[in-house]
Amino acid sequence: MVLLHFVDLDPQLAALRPLGGFFALSTAPPTGGPGEPARPLPTLAQAYSTAPTDADGDPPTDLPADPPADPLAGPLADPLAFRIGKVARALRAPEPRIAASVAQQGLAARLWSVALGCAVLYVRPPELAPGLLRWDPDGSAPDDLWLTEVHASRPADAETLAATVLHGHLEPLAAALRARHRLAPGLLRGNAASALAGAARQLDAWARAHGRPDAAARTRALTAELLAHPLLAGTGTLTGTAFRRRSCCLYHRVPGGGVCGDCCFARPPRSSPRGPSG
């Protein structure tokens, strides 16, 4: 029998820090340079609600080659487009939807990491609603997310985690992305499952390395339940902590890109006609 060890919720979410930067979550407003005020950042709820169209009412088909002249204009006016543009430039992505897929998986991994870490460590984890999380689309973990209010939610079972991350974040994120780019629902679901499995694998490794069999067992149990959720069921196969997905995130299409460790392909496939994948 494994005894579960939880801690009470603390205002700084300090219990998450030993897990590493990808699991950490700031509770202090971000600052600029010395003596500068806090930078204004959109909430994730605002990011999910932005879905600009072109003059004909269609999703935009390209992204700016360069970042906006005003570094705050993009993040504030359209956080998702800013993030996708940043990823596209970094990867030299030949299609915007490739950058959109990679950006979605990265944000999903960040959200799953925080949610799983909180669920495994805290008696009652914090509420992680999109309206409470401010996001810097130009930042990287752990400085990309800021929880504006720390108060306890329900005990974090798989149902609560699904409501928080899948329904609260990843469904509206997917809807916003599909309003802009040709992304198949199966691809986005596969990205969400892959991000969950990757976060769980890291958390399980940390727990084992630090003598926390309770945290490792809880991580594996929650992950298995979540991957059986209707929104993730059928996206891949979980064996222990290893996951093999049934769709592809499109990363193999970037210059020099290969296949990810959990990809459905053993090697990069040949070029195929442009269209949704997954």
Q: Binning pLDDT at 50, 70 and 90, where does residue 65 land?
A: very low
pLDDT higher than threshold 70 for residue 173: yes
pLDDT higher than threshold 70 for residue 61: no
| Residue with more model confidence, 9 or 258 | 9
In a domain, 123, yes or no: yes
In a domain, 50, yes or no: no
Share of the chain above pLDDT 90, in %: 67
What's the pLDDT score for residue 260?
80
**pLDDT one-digit tens code per residue, 118-163:** 999 999 999 999 999 999 999 999 999 999 999 998 888 999 999 9
pLDDT higher than threshold 50 for residue 202: yes
In a domain, 261, yes or no: no
**What is the domain range of residue 218?**
15-25+76-253
Nearest in space to 222 (alpha carbons), one of 203, 249, 245: 203
Q: In whole angstroms, what is the distance from residue 202 CA to residue 53 CA?
A: 38
In a domain, 106, yes or no: yes
pLDDT higher than threshold 60 for residue 99: yes
Helices 171-178 + 96-121 axis angle, to 10: 170
Q: Binning pLDDT at 50, 70 and 90, where does residue 40 land?
A: confident
In a domain, 37, yes or no: no
The two tokens of residue 30 are: 């971000």
In a domain, 163, yes or no: yes
What's the pLDDT score for residue 56?
40
Over residues 223-243, mean pLDDT: 95
In a domain, 210, yes or no: yes
Q: In whole angstroms, what is the distance from residue 104 CA to residue 109 CA?
A: 9
Q: What is the pTM of this model?
A: 0.87
What's the pLDDT score for residue 213?
95
Q: Kindly report the average pLDDT of the chain as a whole number.
A: 85
In a domain, 84, yes or no: yes
CB-CB contact of 277 with 187 (8 Å):
yes
Q: In whole angstroms, what is the distance from residue 126 CA to residue 136 CA?
A: 20
Domain count of the fold of the chain = 1
